[in-house]
């Protein structure tokens, strides 16, 4: 790993000499107003690759930060950034490393931005590897978690996120389909039941039905869905991350909306609920031939597995 090389915080150089010569150099330093400092010792530890010891020296100097000039403070923070990055886990998490380096980068003339770029690249690579591994294992929860984290990182690639989103939707749909086909049975009775319960929507045009969906999915004056898209027998609702909890408390409304979709088209209606910020799936809503109602399949988030809820 390459090492930084800088002048000392007090702009003094201390050659490696022993005995009386060292005393003479120290005297010259004092006379010139430049005495050996904690950073001088820290730089020696950095040069030797002993970053934990350097970090201790820098921490001691940080306690007297009020006595430092602007350039001295910048060099101190840059060195702390470097040490934390080189020490790494478990002493310092990537988030902690980035926080220290971001603070250092605020100082004029800081060199810490290059380390921030390396931290971000390592984080993107780690998340990407985890997404690919989770998709290979058909692990929806881990795939969405890692992909969501990747998307929040600086310089995240939108094309990569779009590809993952498509793969996650395909995998989730396949798992939901497996759940549905396991029950088997004709949907004719479920569609007929939906039509009996939602006669008011059968003759609505697309605009009227869209407004009905928005109104139905409004709780205490707050619309659950940020956008509504409808194509043939499929309805897509996008829910802002801030409203996911509201959506979780309104599963009966979401199921009723899919019932109404089935009543309007007289078909096996499908409603997909996506998270607006990520585009990743939150819920799939399908007709259940057994209950003759729509069933909400709750996609895994965190450590949850696929679970379901039905309309009332």
Residue-level pLDDT at 35: 30
pLDDT tens sequence across 270-292:
999 999 988 888 898 988 888 88
Residue-level pLDDT at 174: 81
Q: Which of 45-49, 135-139, 158-162, 298-302 has the lowest mean pLDDT?
A: 298-302
Q: Given a cut of 50, is residue 194 above it in pLDDT? A: yes
Q: By CB neighbour count within 10 A (0-12 exposed, 13-18 middle, 19+ buried), where does 145 fall? A: buried
Closest listed residue to residue 107, CA positions, set 61, 76, 83, 86: 76
Residue-level pLDDT at 141: 85
Distance CA 70, CA 242 (A): 41
Distance CA 270, CA 175 (A): 15
pLDDT tens sequence across 6-20:
333 333 333 333 443
Residue-level pLDDT at 38: 62
Cβ neighbors of 309 (< 8 A, separation 6 or more) are 251, 252, 255, 295, 296, 298
Residue-level pLDDT at 278: 87
Mean pLDDT, residues 148-162 taken together: 92
DSSP 149: H
Q: What is the mean pLDDT of the chain?
A: 82
Other beta carbons within 10 angstroms of residue 140's beta carbon come to 22
Q: Identify whether the C-beta of residue 102 lies closer than 8 Å to the C-beta of residue 115.
A: no
Distance CA 312, CA 11 (A): 76
Which of the four pLDDT bands, split at 50, 70 and 90, describes residue 24?
Answer: very low
- Compute and round to an integer the Cα radius of gyration of the chain: 30
Closest listed residue to residue 103, CA positions, set 123, 73, 61: 73
Global confidence as pTM: 0.66
Residue-level pLDDT at 181: 58
Q: Given a cut of 90, is residue 258 above it in pLDDT? A: yes
């Amino acid at each position: 790993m390459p090492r930084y090389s800088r002048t000392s915080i007090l702009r003094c150089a201390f050659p490696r000499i022993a005995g009386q010569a060292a005393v003479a150099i120290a005297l010259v330093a004092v006379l010139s107003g430049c005495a050996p400092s904690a950073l001088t010792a820290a730089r020696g530890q950095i040069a030797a690759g002993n970053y934990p010891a350097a970090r201790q020296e820098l921490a001691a100097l940080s306690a007297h930060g009020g006595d430092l000039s602007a350039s001295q403070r910048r060099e101190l923070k840059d060195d702390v950034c470097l040490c934390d990055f080189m020490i790494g886990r478990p002493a310092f998490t990537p988030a902690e490393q980035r926080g220290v380096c971001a603070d250092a980068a605020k100082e004029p003339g800081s060199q810490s931005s290059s380390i921030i770029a390396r931290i971000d690249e390592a984080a993107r690579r780690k998340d990407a590897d985890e997404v690919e591994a989770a998709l290979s294992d058909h692990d929806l929860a881990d795939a969405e978690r890692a992909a969501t984290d990747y998307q929040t990182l600086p310089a995240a690639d939108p094309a990569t996120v779009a590809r993952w989103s498509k793969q996650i939707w395909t995998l989730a749909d396949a798992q939901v389909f497996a759940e549905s086909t396991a029950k088997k049975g004709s949907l004719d009775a479920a569609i007929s039941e939906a039509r009996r319960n939602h006669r008011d929507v059968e003759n609505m045009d697309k605009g009227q039905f869209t407004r009905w969906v928005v109104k139905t999915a409004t709780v205490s004056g707050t619309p659950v869905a940020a956008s509504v898209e409808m194509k043939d027998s499929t309805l897509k609702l996008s829910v802002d991350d801030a409203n996911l909890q509201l959506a979780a408390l309104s599963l009966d409304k979401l199921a009723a909306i899919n019932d109404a979709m089935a009543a309007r088209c007289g078909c096996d209606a499908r409603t997909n609920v996506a998270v607006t910020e990520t585009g990743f799936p939150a819920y799939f809503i399908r007709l259940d031939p057994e209950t003759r109602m729509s069933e909400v399949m709750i996609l895994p988030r965190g450590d949850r597995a696929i679970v379901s809820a039905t309309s009332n």
